[in-house]
Amino acid sequence: MAPSRAGDPCSKRGHSVRDYPQSGRIWHGVKQPGNPWYDGPENITQCPILAGTNFTYEVIFSDEEGTLWWHAHSDWTRATVHGAIIISPPTGTNYPLHIKPDADEVIVLGTWYKVDVMEMIEHALANGSFPALADALTINGQPGNEYDCSSDSIYRLSVDIGKTYLLRIINAAMNEELFFGIANHNLTVVGVDAAYVEPIDVEYIMITPGQTMDVLLTANQLSRYFQMAAYPFADTNSPVERSKATALLQYNGQDGPSLFPVPITTLPNYDHRDVAENFMRMLKSLVHSDYPIKVPQNVNTSLFITVSVNLLDCNGTCGGPNKNGLSASLNNISFELPQVDILKAYEEYVLPYPVLLVLAYVACTMTEFSPNLIISSLSC
Ligand SMILES: [Cu+2]
């Protein structure tokens, strides 16, 4: 997607995803005030884009600055088409603090499946089982040299010594929280989800699915090649991906064999929970006069919200743990699409959209658990 300026509207044409009968596009993290009709989830805020047709979205940017992304949004179609949204500071202004990168680079971390992801998730939903694990993790579409036959197509990021690069890192993986780092290079995180944060210097980041991070990298080393890697963090008993995607940071004008890059040794074990938690605790919004943070000072009500994947007793017929079925919930209440057609109700009864959402919520909370309720909320 072409770079946008903060506050600009923008149009984008969304085509149906090839091979799938219907889809939508979501502008992940764009707040779109008063514009939910162009947000993307089909049958909630828009009709699906049918195969062979297209639909032009109007995307409204407000106070986002930095990196976001878009993706197909029908069940698991986001594993297929997705891309970066880059939002520059408004015309006439610049990045806050001392952020003056010499160049930008988008780094998309992803997952790759050999199976048809839509067939696979349909099977998992019907069966109450875990969805299949990815066949590979990827960095800008390439799995790297730790997978068979992938050395030739490894992703390479070329840099000049002495320059600073703004890496716009997007975790587009379906479910994996990922550690990411570059051998012998510190990273300075300056933005998360298109909002600036107090800069933090780290050896690696931990980025969750759907999240974006703007990270400064200074090319200050003397070898030719350095390994970069993405590796899952998962402190769970559920099946998890345990492979590693690799790529190369390569210095222009330096010599050295590419088969033996300086290896990355600082990534923690996949289940290193303290490390992941410490990293998340370090992230704080930037306090800056040009970017005021309006945090409410008085809290009237505390909300306790538990996000879970429950086990559903289905008399030994399901494919989850101990032949139970998996079912996602918020505070032990799962979601099922309401019988009311929200779009139609809006058109025919002209109820305000918030009222319809409340009605939909009431309808949903009255719904009993059923095995096919692992909905796309697991994704975004
Ligand atoms: Cu999303």
pTM for this model (two decimals): 0.85
Between the CA of 29 and the centroid of ligand 1 the distance, in Å, is: 7
Between the CA of 14 and the centroid of ligand 1 the distance, in Å, is: 15
pLDDT of residue 379: 27
Beta strands in 42-135 (DSSP E): 49-50, 54-60, 66-72, 82-88, 103-112
Compute mean pLDDT per 10 residues along the chain, 380 residues long, and list them: 58 55 78 82 76 85 92 86 90 75 96 93 92 94 87 90 96 95 96 94 96 96 94 86 92 81 89 94 88 85 92 92 92 78 65 60 42 28
- The residue with tokens 């990534």 is 267
Between the CA of 240 and the centroid of ligand 1 the distance, in Å, is: 21
Proportion of the chain above pLDDT 70, given as a percent: 82
Residues 264 and 206 occupy one common structural domain? yes
CA atoms within 13 A on the CB side of 234: 13
Last residue of a domain, one of 47, 65, 93: 93
Residues 291 and 323 occupy one common structural domain? no
Residues 228 and 108 occupy one common structural domain? yes
Helix/strand/coil percentages in the chain, nearest 5: 15, 35, 50
Residues 156 and 203 occupy one common structural domain? yes
Residues 290 and 195 occupy one common structural domain? yes
Residues 359 and 329 occupy one common structural domain? yes
Between the CA of 210 and the centroid of ligand 1 the distance, in Å, is: 6
What backbone phi and psi angles, to 5 degrees, belong to 57?
Answer: -90, 145
Between the CA of 25 and the centroid of ligand 1 the distance, in Å, is: 9
pLDDT of residue 368: 37
Between the CA of 111 and the centroid of ligand 1 the distance, in Å, is: 14
Last residue of a domain, one of 35, 68, 93: 93
pLDDT of residue 256: 73
**302 in any annotated domain:** no
**121 in any annotated domain:** yes
pLDDT of residue 355: 64
Residues whose CB is less than 8 angstroms from the CB of residue 228 and which lie 6 or more positions away in sequence, other chains included = 139, 157, 180, 181, 182, 183, 246, 247, 248, 249, 264
Q: Is residue 213 within 8 Å of 181, Cβ to Cβ?
A: no
**229 in any annotated domain:** yes
Between the CA of 4 and the centroid of ligand 1 the distance, in Å, is: 19
Which helix H or strand E contains 127, and what residues bound it? Answer: helix 117-127
Crossing angle of the two packed helices 342-349 and 353-365, in degrees rounded to 10: 140
Residues 104 and 78 occupy one common structural domain? no
For residue range 236-287, what is the model confidence (pLDDT) as tens digits?
A: 878 888 889 999 999 998 877 777 899 998 889 888 999 999 999 999 998 8
Q: Which two tokens stand for residue 280?
A: 């998340």
Between the CA of 326 and the centroid of ligand 1 the distance, in Å, is: 22
Alpha carbon distance 25, 74 (integer Å):
8
pLDDT of residue 342: 66
Q: Which two tokens stand for residue 168?
A: 């716009």
**25 in any annotated domain:** yes
Q: Which two tokens stand for residue 253?
A: 């004008």
What backbone phi and psi angles, to 5 degrees, belong to 304?
Answer: -110, 115
CB under 8 Å, gap of 24 or more: what pairs does 117-120 form?
Answer: 117/75, 117/76, 117/77, 117/79, 117/80, 117/174, 118/20, 118/74, 118/75, 118/76, 118/77, 120/76
**324 in any annotated domain:** yes
Question: What domain range includes position 139?
Answer: 95-295
**47 in any annotated domain:** yes
Q: Which two tokens stand for residue 156?
A: 């390479």
Residues 120 and 207 occupy one common structural domain? yes
Between the CA of 46 and the centroid of ligand 1 the distance, in Å, is: 16
Residues 51 and 79 occupy one common structural domain? yes
Q: Which two tokens stand for residue 353?
A: 């959209």
Between the CA of 75 and the centroid of ligand 1 the distance, in Å, is: 11
Q: What is the CATH number of the domain that holds 75?
A: 2.60.40.420
**51 in any annotated domain:** yes
DSSP state of 35: -
Beta bridge partners of 216: 166, 188
Between the CA of 140 and the centroid of ligand 1 the distance, in Å, is: 18
Residues 71 and 101 occupy one common structural domain? no
**CA 113 to each of CA 119, 143, 222, 377: distance values in angstroms, whole numbers, following the listed order:** 12, 12, 37, 20
Residues 28 and 79 occupy one common structural domain? yes
Q: Give the number of domains in the chain.
A: 3
Between the CA of 68 and the centroid of ligand 1 the distance, in Å, is: 10
Between the CA of 123 and the centroid of ligand 1 the distance, in Å, is: 22
Residues 162 and 39 occupy one common structural domain? no
Between the CA of 257 and the centroid of ligand 1 the distance, in Å, is: 39
**300 in any annotated domain:** no
Residues whose CB is less than 8 angstroms from the CB of residue 311 and which lie 6 or more positions away in sequence, other chains included = 320, 321, 322, 324, 325, 326, 327
Between the CA of 71 and the centroid of ligand 1 the distance, in Å, is: 7
Which helix H or strand E contains 239, and what residues bound it? Answer: none
Between the CA of 28 and the centroid of ligand 1 the distance, in Å, is: 5
Last residue of a domain, one of 93, 114, 148: 93
pLDDT of residue 341: 67
